[in-house]
Structure 1
Amino acid sequence: MKFEEIEAVMRKNESLSEQFILPGNYIVVRLDGKGFTKLTKEKLTLEKPFDERFGKAMIDTAKHLFNTGFKVLYGYTQSDEISLLIDQDDQTFSRKTRKLNSVLSGEASAFFSLQFQELCVFDCRTIAIPNREMLLDYFCWRQEDAHRNSLSAYCYWTLRNNGYTAKQATGKIEKMTQAEKNELLFQYGINYNTLPLWQKRGVGIYNKELMKQGFNPVTKETVDYMRKELFVEKKLLIRGEYREFLREIFNNK
C-alpha cells in the first residue's frame, strides 16, 4: 500500500474516534494528582494534614493553566485536584476532548513537577455541562467534597498523632457523622470552625477588575485605570452564598 493510501486510512481512523464538546455546552475540566498519596508520603516532606507549600504549588499550577491558550473563566483547587471552567464559546482545538485533556494534563504535570523537582503527574477529564444551574451545582459539589475530606483528614491525622495506627484511625472515623467528627477534634483541643478556610473550602481563582495607578509620560501625571488580574480567593463563601458568588463571576465574564 502506498504512503498516501496508508495516510488516508490512518487519518480517517483518527477522525472517527474524535470526541468533541458540542456547541452550547459549558466546558469543565478536572485534573487530579495521579499517585499523589505515594508522592506525599514517600517523596515529599509535608505537614499533615495540610501543607502550605503544597497548597501554594496547587494554586500556582491552577494559575498557570489560565495561560495555556484556553479562555478560563474560573479555577477551583482543593487537596490535589483542580477544576477549570472554560468559556462556553471557546473554540480552541475545535473543542476536541483529547486535546483539552492532553494539553492541560501535560501543562499541569510539568509545572507542578518543577515546584518540587519530582516527577508529578495529573490525569484529566473534560466534562460537558448543558446549563448554568448544573454548572453551579458542579462547583458547589466540589466545595462540599473538599469540606468532607478536610474534616476526615483532620480527624485521621489527629488520631495518628495520638498513638493510633493507620488502620485504627481509619476504622474509628469510618462511620462517624460530621457532628461526631467535630466532637472528636474538640476532645483533642481542635476547633474545626477556626481552622483556615482554604483548608476546609478550597481556593477560587478568577479574573477581577482592580484599580491601578500608572504614569502618563505625555502629561507627566499619575492616572488611575482599571485592569483585570488573576485574583486568588482563600476565604470562599459556602453553600448558597458560594453559589451567588459564582453566579456573579459567570455573569461578568
Structure 2
Amino acid sequence: MKWREFFPHKELRYPPSFCAKVISCGAIYVLQSYLLWRQNDCHTNNLCNTCLWELIIKGGKTESEALELLKGTCKEEKNNLLFENFEINYQKLNEMFRQGSCILKTEVIDVVKHNENGSPVRRLRKKLRIVHSKNIAGISFWNKHKCLRNELGSFSKDIAKVEPDFLKSFQFEKRLMPSTWIVIRIDGCHFHRFSDVHEFVKPNDEQALKLMNSCAVAVVKEFQDTVFAYGVSDEYSFVLKKDSQFYQRRASKIVSVMVSLFTSMYTMKWKDFFPERDLKYPPYFDGRAVCYPSSEILRDYLAWRQVDCHINNQYNTCFWQLVKSGKSKSEAQNFLKGTLAGDKDKLLKQFGIDYSKLPVMFRQGSSTFWDKGDIIMINNNKPSDENSQNKVVIEHCNIIESSFWCAHPTILNA
C-alpha cells in the first residue's frame, strides 16, 4: 500500500517477500551484541556497495572487474578509493545509508480531547519515531531514550567488537523433520473486522475468495516445491513435497517467506478483484508449519479442512439468513445452538435455499495445484475432456474421496 507514496511514477512489477529468523536474547548483553553486529554489518555492506556501484557507474568497470578490484580491501582503502577517485567523503553520506534505521516507541504528552469549556485533556501516549544514530549499541544512545531502558533494561558498558559466531549460537533454527510432507497453513488475522470494514458479502464474498485463490496460485508458482494447496475463507494450506530442501527445511524462513509473499500478493491484486473499492488498510496473516509423515495422514489433514469448510459454511449460511430475516446476531447464535446438519438444511429450505446447489467453491473450498497432464476433475467429480500441461489450476471438488487423488497421482508422487 505504501509503494505509491515513495515511488509515485514507478510501477510495482511484482510483490516482494521476506524471510525471517528468531534470535533468542536471554540477557541484555546478548541484545547489545546483536545490535552492534547488525549495525556493523550495515556499515560494512554499504561501504562495499557504494564503492562497487561508483566503480561501475562512474568508473566504467564491469561488475566482475569492480568486485575483483575490491577483493581483500580494508575499510580505509575503500574510504580512500571513494575520496580519491570519486571525491566522495563516506562520512558525509546519508546517515540512514551508513547507520540504518531504528524505530522506537517514545512517550509523549498528547491532546486526546477537549473539555466542555474548551480546555485540552492531555494523556501520556506512545508514538513511533524513526532514529538514525551512530552507535545504537552504546550506553549514550540507550540512556538518551528512556523508553529503551524502561522496557529492555540498561547496558552496563560499551562494547567495541562482537563475534558473529557468538550471536549465531542464539539463533533459533527449527528444522522440520526430514522425509515428511510439510504443510504451511496461513490464516488471516482479525479478518472478521477486515471483512466488515471492506464490506464483504456475508456469508461468502465470491470476489474475496477469488482473490485468496489468486494469491495461492502466485505462491504455488513462486515456490516450486509446493505441490498442492487448499483454501477456504481466510485460510490456505500449502503442501511442500516430502523431500523438499527449501531453505534447508528451516521452519521460520519457510513460513515467513510464504506468508509475506501471500500478503504482498493480496495487497497488490486487490484492485483486480475490487476495482471500485479502496483497500483501507492492509491485511495480515499468521502461519505455522506442520509435518505429516505419510500421504494417508496428509490426506486426513486435508479432509479435516474440507469437512470444516462444509460445517462452517452451512452454519454461516444459516446464521446470516437469520440475521437478514430480522434476528440479532446473538438471537441467531442461540437459535442455531445444538442444531445438526439436517436441521440446518431444513432451515435453509424455509428461506428457499437448497444448500447442495450453492456454489461449490463455498461448500468445498478451493484446491490449487500443478496440473501435469493428469485427468482434470470438475465440480461433480466427473473427468473433464480438457487437459492442460504444467500449469497451476484451481478446482472446487471433493478431495476427501480417493477419486480426486487417483485422477491426479502426480501430486502425492511429487
Normalised by the size of structure 2, how large is the TM-score? 0.54
Q: Which runs of 5+ in 2 are unaligned?
A: 1-158, 271-278, 375-386
Q: Is the 8 A contact 2:399 2:405 kept in 1?
A: no
Given the alignment of the two structures, is residue 61 of structure 1 paired with residue 218 of structure 2, yes or no?
Answer: no
SS at match of 1:239: coil
- In structure 2, what is the Cα distance between the partners aligned to 1:85 and 1:160? 37
Q: Is the 8 A contact 1:70 1:90 kept in 2?
A: no
Q: Kindly tell me: are residues 226 and 78 of structure 1, through their superposed partners in 2, closer, same or farther at Cα, counting changes over 3 Å?
A: closer
Shift of the alpha carbon at 1:49?
A: 0.9
Q: What amino acid is aligned across from residue 52 of structure 1 in structure 2?
A: E
Relative contact order (C-alpha < 8 Å, sep 6+): which is higher?
Answer: 1
Match of 1:239 in 2: 400
Deviations 1:90-129 (A, max 9, x none): 1111100000111111111111122333301010000011
Match of 1:84 in 2: 238
Shift of the alpha carbon at 1:172?
A: 1.0
Percent identity of paired positions between Structure 1 and Structure 2: 25
Match of 1:129 in 2: 292
Q: What amino acid is aligned across from residue 227 of structure 1 in structure 2?
A: Q
Q: Is the 8 A contact 2:299 2:400 kept in 1?
A: no
Match of 1:120 in 2: 283
Match of 1:10 in 2: 167
Aligned residues: CA RMSD: 2.1
Q: Kindly tell me: are residues 246 and 90 of structure 1, through their superposed partners in 2, closer, same or farther at Cα, counting changes over 3 Å?
A: farther
Q: Is the 8 A contact 1:27 1:129 kept in 2?
A: yes
State which of 181, 186, 200 in structure 2 corresponds to 1:26.
181
Deviations 1:227-248 (A, max 9, x none): 31111112x0253246645873
Q: Which runs of 5+ in 1 are unaligned?
A: 212-224
State which of 226, 234, 238 in structure 2 corresponds to 1:72.
226
SS at match of 1:140: helix
Given the alignment of the two structures, is residue 141 of structure 1 paired with residue 335 of structure 2, yes or no?
Answer: no
State which of 193, 203, 227 in structure 1 corresponds to 2:389.
227
Match of 2:40 in 1: none
Deviations 1:51-106 (A, max 9, x none): 12101101001111113334110011111100111111111111000001111111
Structure 1 ranges of 4+ moved more than 6 A = none
- In structure 1, what is the Cα distance between the partners aligned to 2:332 and 2:399? 28
- In structure 1, what is the Cα distance between the partners aligned to 2:160 and 2:222? 38
Q: Kindly tell me: are residues 166 and 120 of structure 1, through their superposed partners in 2, closer, same or farther at Cα, counting changes over 3 Å?
A: same
- In structure 2, what is the Cα distance between the partners aligned to 1:179 and 1:246? 31
Tell me which moved more, 109-118 or 198-207.
109-118
Aligned pair count reads 235
Q: What amino acid is aligned across from residue 63 of structure 1 in structure 2?
A: V
- In structure 2, what is the Cα distance between the partners aligned to 1:68 and 1:230? 11
SS at match of 1:75: strand
SS at match of 1:3: coil
- In structure 2, what is the Cα distance between the partners aligned to 1:153 and 1:60? 24
Q: Is the 8 A contact 1:136 1:243 kept in 2?
A: no
- In structure 2, what is the Cα distance between the partners aligned to 1:188 and 1:231? 34
Q: Is the 8 A contact 1:140 1:242 kept in 2?
A: no
